[in-house]
Chain A
Amino acid sequence: MTAALPISLEVNGESVNANVLPRLNLADFLREHLKLTGTHVGCEHGVCGACTVRVNGEIVRSCLMLAVQTHGASVVTIEGLSDSGEIADLQAAFRDRNALQCGFCTPGMLIAAQDLLKQETEPNRERIREHLSGNYCRCTGYQAIIDAVETTALARMGRKP
């Protein structure tokens, strides 16, 4: 049973069939097999949040999920989220507010922030902080990231920050 197992899933709207070893995690499957390298691998034990992706509409750590567990699932990565235009305003706000420097954490930050903005239209700074508490950023000191998410929330409600 250590042999490769067949899986069928949807990644960014396209159907994918693959044979994967049980030990392969979803992050490595996305990066190495599908060449979707926007999903970053930082700590590989669920602490840093850089590998955050959406599975069946919910954010998860792709380093803490086996590729075989995604059989039948729908996965959306930062590439899918970016290409669809769903977070174009959030990405622009990150640029405007200098909410990234090296960019390593940014895909995970964007996915986690969009997850909050889908659930709550008017999160305050404390809620934003709490929702992003599982995502490390070693450059910005977080203030600029909170600014960008807050600005986007206000703009989506038609209000100026």
Chain B
Amino acid sequence: MKASAFSYARATSVANALELLAAYGDKAKVLSGGQSLMPAMNLRLISPELIVDIGEIAELRGIAVRGGVLSIGALTRHVDLLKSPEIASHAPLLTEAVAHVAHPAIRNRGTLGGSLAHADPASELPASMVALNATIVVRGQTGERRIAAGNFFTGIYETALSAQELLIAVEVPVAQKKSAYFFHEFARRHGDYAIAGLAAQAIVQGGLFTDLRMAYFAVGDRPILVKAAGKLINIGVTPAVLAEASATLGEELDPQEDQQASAAMRRHLAKILLARCASALLGRPDLIAGGPV
């Protein structure tokens, strides 16, 4: 199908975009890379009155490292993330995650800010930001707000961003020494939305997790930072410890059922991801030697 008629404005600056958003509120939609917005409009799932194209706003581009913080502009495209040496050395989880986002032609247009503001619960980047404990910077006409990624995503396609605000940038703490990451997803076809996926960031010292943040995606209405990870911190991880964490995980997840998988299948896959994550990050093949737990 084709998008219904709308007005179009090419924003010349962040201030200009915010003026338009203040005037139109939720009748306007921000166009960044368009790789989620355009399909939704073509399918007539949404029909905004005004499209505010922010694609030409130079101040929203760029990746910079300052004082232990990696700052990534909202208009940074997936392909830019994938090829960035700064991202690869300071937040390698993102390099890995973005390779699973759609396909090359989509990654050439899709942006980080767009993906986060869209907040599809099955997409990779929101969960990665939660795992990385990133801060999401949004601006409105009255000022800037800095929101922890863990509080930003509030439901299916819902975020803490108001209709008058623009997502400006993301700030990610740079990876410390001894930090390790894990990313894996199950999907029918490479680049498709995940059936279940996990982004994890950890600190491993002397064979133990001293920190472990596990953010699941596609198993709930938003990225889920699981409490089960706490069961693996500062403890020698044995198969029994892992089994207990796995049981906790099964209880705390409440996955949806759809054409791709039942809730039980998603819960099962989440448990497999937990075991693989622990095994990979601790260098302990024995933790998955007995098959899926």
Q: CB within 8 Å of B: which residues of A? A: 1-2, 5, 21-23, 25, 28, 44-46, 49, 52, 58-61, 63-66, 68-69, 112, 115-116, 129-131, 133-135
Contact = CB atoms under 8 A, between A and B. Distances in A.
B186 to A, nearest CB: 15
Interface of A is mostly: mixed
B44 to A, nearest CB: 11
A61 B39 CA distance: 11
B51 interface: yes
Nearest to A1: B7
Given A28-B2, A59-B105, A112-B105, A64 B7 contact: no
Ranked nearest first, the 3 interchain pairs of A and B with the lowest CB-CB distance are A134-B103, A1-B7, A22-B8
A133 B191 contact: yes
B105 A23 contact: no
Contacts, number: 94
B39 A64 contact: yes
A45 B7 CA distance: 20
Nearest to A108: B105
B7 A25 contact: no
Interface residues of B, number: 32
Contact of A5 (B3, B5, B8, B55): B8
Contacts of A28: 2
Interface in B2-42: 2-10, 31, 34-35, 38-39, 42
Contact of A60 (B6, B7, B31, B108): B108
A134 B109 contact: no
A114 to B, nearest CB: 12
B43 interface: yes
B146 interface: no
Contacts of B178: none
B228 interface: no
Given A46-B102, A58-B108, A59-B108, 13 more contacts: A1-B7, A2-B6, A21-B5, A22-B6, A25-B2, A44-B1, A44-B2, A58-B79, A61-B109, A66-B38, A68-B8, A134-B104, A134-B105
A51 to B, nearest CB: 9
A65 B109 contact: yes
A135 B191 CA distance: 11
A63 B42 contact: yes
Contact of B3 (A23, A68, A69, A133): A23
Interface in B172-219: 189-191
B72 interface: no
Contacts of A112: 104-105
Contact of A134 (B5, B38, B43, B106): B106
B103 A133 contact: yes
Contacts of B86: none
B191 A134 contact: yes
